[in-house]
A = this chain, B = another copy of it.
Amino acid sequence: MTTAHVGHLLDWLRDAYAMEQQAEVMLKDLVERLEHYPQLRAHMEDHLEDTRKQQVLLKGCIERLGSSPSMLKDLMGRVMAFGQSVSGMAVSDEVVKGAMSTYVFTHMEIASYTILIAAARAIGDNETQRVCESILQQEIAMAEWLRGHLPEVTQAFLARSATPGMNAKR
């Protein structure tokens, strides 16, 4: 366990914390906007709860390593900008793009926790490894649910958009 290793682990934990803060903003926005897709909305709402709990867990890992959540790192600042541009966008197929963006963001999370687990294992930080493994399972479940429901959301959107007088957008 070297100082360099701990430095990288801390950087990645801080990135993950910032990422979950952005996930909260995105999910909250989607939940508030979705009107005609109740199943998708309910699932996003559940995941919003998980996201808030994940932030607390990550903060605990960062503090145990003697640090605190802080400024955004470079890449994450850009991911944030991506997330923010997706939130509140005014496109005609908002529900499809919203589900797709959430699916993509969830894989940013899956990659992050996969990297964090490898780093925590290399360092021998068992508690961080355990926390990240449990969060990873929640993100994988979210990703699988979204992928399974993308075709259904697409078909519902197309059916609504072909029906006169029906709002398909969100």
Where the two chains meet, the residues of A that have a C-beta atom closer than 8 Å to any C-beta of B are 2, 4-5, 8, 11, 73-75, 78-79, 81-82, 85-86, 89, 91, 93, 96-97, 99-101, 103-104, 107-108, 110-112, 114-115, 117-119, 121-122, 143, 147, 150-152, 154-155, 157-159, 161-162
- In contact, B154 and A119 (Cβ under 8 angstroms): yes
- In contact, B100 and A104 (Cβ under 8 angstroms): no
- Residues of B with C-beta under 8 A to A111: 99-100, 103-104, 147, 150
A-B CB proximity, top 8 nearest: A118-B151, A107-B107, A118-B154, A100-B111, A2-B162, A78-B85, A103-B111, A82-B82
Nearest opposing residue in chain B for A90, CB measure: B74
Copies in the complex: 2
Q: Of B8, B91, B155, B159, which is within 8 A of A74 by CB? A: B91
Query: What is the distance, in angstroms, from A82's C-beta to the closest C-beta of chain B?
Result: 5
Query: What is the distance, in angstroms, from A137's C-beta to the closest C-beta of chain B?
Result: 14
* Contact sample, A vs B, 26 pairs, CB 8 Å cutoff: A2-B162, A4-B158, A4-B162, A5-B158, A8-B157, A74-B91, A75-B91, A75-B101, A78-B85, A81-B81, A82-B82, A96-B115, A99-B111, A100-B108, A100-B115, A103-B107, A103-B111, A104-B107, A107-B107, A107-B143, A110-B147, A114-B151, A118-B151, A118-B152, A119-B158, A122-B159
